[in-house]
Structure 1
Amino acid sequence: MIRLWLIGIGTGNPRHVTLEAVQALREAALILLPRKGPDKADLAELRHAILRDCDSRAQVIEFDMPQRDERLPYLQRVRLWHDQIAAIWAGAIERAQPSGPVALLVWGDPGLYDSTLRIAARLQPQPDLRVIPGITALQALTAAHAIPFNTLNGAVTVTTGRRLREHGWPDGAQTVAVMLDGACSFQRLDPAGLRIWWGGFLGMPEQLLASGPLDIAGPQIVALREQARARHGWIMDCYLLRREMDA
Structure 2
Amino acid sequence: MIKDLWLVGIGTGSPGHVTLDGMQALRDAAVILLPRKGEAKENLLALRQVILEAAGTRAEIRSFDYPERDPALPYAARVAAWHDEIARRWSAALHAAPDGPVALLVWGDPALYDSTLRIAGRLTPRPALRVIPGITAIQALTAAHAIPLNEVNGAVKITTGRRLRDHGWPEGEDTLVVMLDGACSFAGLDPEGVHIWWGAYLGSPAQRLLAGPLAEVADEIIAARAEARARHGWIMDTYLLRRGSTG
- Shorter-chain TM-score range: over 0.9
Q: CA RMSD in A?
A: 1.1
Question: 8 Å contact 2:156–2:175 — kept in the other structure?
Answer: yes
Question: 8 Å contact 2:63–2:93 — kept in the other structure?
Answer: no
Q: SS state of the match for residue 96, structure 1?
A: coil
Work out the CA distance in 1 between the residues paired with 2:13 and 2:123.
28
Task: After TM superposition, give the deviation of residue 96 of structure 1 in Å.
Answer: 3.1
Work out the CA distance in 1 between the residues paired with 2:246 and 2:155.
11
Task: After TM superposition, give the deviation of residue 246 of structure 1 in Å.
Answer: 7.9
Where does residue 107 of structure 2 map in the other structure?
A: 107
Q: Which deviates the most, 124-133 or 48-57?
A: 48-57
Question: 8 Å contact 1:161–1:183 — kept in the other structure?
Answer: yes
Question: 8 Å contact 1:151–1:246 — kept in the other structure?
Answer: no
Question: 8 Å contact 1:179–1:239 — kept in the other structure?
Answer: yes
Ranges in structure 1 where 5+ consecutive residues have no aligned partner: none
Work out the CA distance in 1 between the residues paired with 2:167 and 2:119.
27
Where does residue 131 of structure 1 map in the other structure?
A: 131
Aligned residue type for 1:5:
W
Is the aligned partner of 1:57 residue 2:97?
no
Work out the CA distance in 2 between the residues paired with 1:245 and 1:64.
45
Question: 8 Å contact 1:20–1:132 — kept in the other structure?
Answer: yes
Aligned residue type for 1:35:
R
1:60-99 correspondence runs (5 A): 60-93=61-94, 95-99=95-99
Q: SS state of the match for residue 142, structure 1?
A: helix
Q: SS state of the match for residue 183, structure 1?
A: coil
Aligned residue type for 1:108:
G
- Structure 1 residues 20-62: Cα deviation after superposition (integer angstroms, max 9, x where no partner): 0111011100011001111110110111111111110001111
Where does residue 180 of structure 1 map in the other structure?
A: 180
Aligned residue type for 1:241:
L
Work out the CA distance in 1 between the residues paired with 2:240 and 2:122.
33
Percent identity reads 64
- Structure 1 residues 120-165: Cα deviation after superposition (integer angstroms, max 9, x where no partner): 0000101000000100001000000000000111110000000000
Where does residue 227 of structure 2 map in the other structure?
A: 227
Question: 8 Å contact 1:156–1:173 — kept in the other structure?
Answer: yes
Q: SS state of the match for residue 239, structure 1?
A: strand
Q: SS state of the match for residue 176, structure 1?
A: strand
Q: SS state of the match for residue 4, structure 1?
A: strand
Work out the CA distance in 1 between the residues paired with 2:237 and 2:156.
18
TM-score where L is the length of structure 1: 0.97
In structure 2, relative to structure 1, the CA distance for the partners of 1:23 and 1:245 (3 Å cut) is closer
Q: SS state of the match for residue 23, structure 2?
A: helix
Is the aligned partner of 1:28 residue 2:25?
no
Query: What is the number of residues matched between the two proteins?
Result: 246
Question: 8 Å contact 1:174–1:246 — kept in the other structure?
Answer: no
Task: After TM superposition, give the deviation of residue 177 of structure 1 in Å.
Answer: 0.3
Task: After TM superposition, give the deviation of residue 98 of structure 1 in Å.
Answer: 2.3
Where does residue 15 of structure 2 map in the other structure?
A: 14
